[in-house]
């Protein structure tokens, strides 16, 4: 099993790969960032520790960089389908234990899974879904942890304001749970419990199945 302390190699430094590598490095993870375009590598070399020019589809180059020693590698190449697939298959051949690959379409994702990627992410599709929920109005944030489980940030509907949460029958009637609360004007969330009384204007984080969360938010 890969551990959160293991270094990560990121292949492909477009917008997705760059923000991923920057975020990991900022959080203290050792990152080896790779792109085949020298101008990209040069631009990022001030920002990221180890950035190198190499072609992900070149087995010799991957071996030379010791990619087989990495437990976690992210293939952040999207637009060039052939390069994405070939790079992923070389990582499988190198027996990398935790291969993450970005897909642009569901067919692309299926191929990546079939050749052995352990995790396939669809950043544009997932972000599109998330933004759709935000654009629709009452949701302040929406995070899908699983196709059937989400966390959402919203304002409390009138019917649960002013009553201790334990007395609202929320879980029974709406099948959602209020997980945390931030008072209006406050700057931090705290746990919500049975005795928590919500006020107008506060922000809450709720958890539940997507359809239940959507219905609950529509009560406002």
Among 6, 80, 144, 212, binds ligand ADP (CB under 6 A): 80
Distance CA 30, CA 48 (A): 10
Judged by DSSP in three states, 34 sits in strand
Write out the DSSP string of 190-218.
EE--TT-BB-TT-EEEEEE-HHHHHHHHT
CB of 18 to ligand ADP, least distance (A): 7
Assess 79 for contact with ligand ADP (CB under 6 A).
yes
Q: Is the CB of 102 or the CB of 174 nearer to ligand ADP?
A: 102
User: Given the rule CB under 6 A, which of 30-38, 105-113, 132-140, 172-180 is the region that contacts ligand ADP?
Assistant: 30-38
Q: Which of 77, 101, 170, 204 binds ligand ADP (CB under 6 A)?
A: 77
83 binds ligand ADP (CB under 6 A): yes
- The residue within the footprint of ligand ADP, chosen from 9, 13, 67, 178 (CB under 6 A), is 13
Counting contacts by CB under 6 A, is residue 109 touching ligand ADP?
Answer: no
Cα 117 → chain centroid: 17
Asked if 99 is part of the footprint of ligand ADP (rule: CB under 6 A), the reply reads no
The residue (of 9 and 83) whose beta carbon lies closer to ligand ADP is 83
End-to-end CA distance of the chain: 44
Q: Which of 48, 78, 91, 152 binds ligand ADP (CB under 6 A)?
A: 78
114, 119, 120, 123 alpha-carbon torsion, rounded to 10°? 180
Which of the ranges 44-52, 78-86, 174-182, 191-199 carries the binding residues for ligand ADP, by CB under 6 A? Answer: 78-86
Return the residue of 8, 10, 35, 160 that touches ligand ADP, per CB under 6 A.
35
| Closest distance to ligand ADP from the beta carbon of 104 (Å) | 8
What is the C-alpha separation between 204 and 155, in angstroms, rounded? 6
- Are the C-beta atoms of 176 and 165 separated by less than 8 Å? no
The residue range among 53-61, 163-171, 180-188, 190-198 that interacts with ligand ADP, by the rule CB under 6 A, is: 53-61
Q: How many residues bind ligand ADP (CB under 6 A)?
A: 21
Report the length, in residues, of the chain: 220
**Residues interacting with ligand ADP, by CB under 6 A?**
11-17, 34-37, 40, 55-57, 77-80, 83, 87
């Amino acid at each position: 099993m890969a551990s959160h302390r293991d270094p990560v190699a990121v292949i492909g430094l477009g917008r997705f790969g760059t923000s991923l590598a920057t975020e990991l490095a900022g959080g203290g993870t050792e990152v080896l960032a790779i792109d085949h375009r020298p101008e990209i590598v040069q631009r990022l070399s001030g920002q990221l520790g180890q950035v190198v020019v190499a072609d992900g589809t070149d087995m010799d180059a991957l071996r030379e960089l010791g990619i087989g020693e990495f437990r976690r590698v992210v293939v952040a190449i999207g637009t060039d389908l052939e390069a994405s697939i070939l790079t992923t298959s070389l990582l499988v051949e190198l027996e990398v234990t935790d291969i993450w690959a970005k897909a642009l379409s569901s067919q692309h994702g299926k191929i990546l899974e079939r050749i052995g990627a352990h995790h396939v992410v669809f950043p544009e599709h997932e972000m599109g879904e998330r933004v759709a929920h935000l654009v629709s109005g009452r949701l302040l944030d929406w995070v899908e942890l699983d196709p059937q489980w989400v966390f959402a940030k919203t304002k409390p509907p009138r019917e649960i304001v002013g009553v201790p949460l334990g007395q609202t029958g929320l879980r029974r009637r709406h099948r959602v749970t209020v997980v945390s609360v931030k008072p209006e004007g406050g700057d931090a969330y705290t746990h919500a419990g049975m005795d928590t009384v919500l006020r107008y204007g506060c922000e809450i984080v709720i958890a539940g199945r997507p359809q239940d969360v959507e219905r609950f938010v529509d009560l406002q």
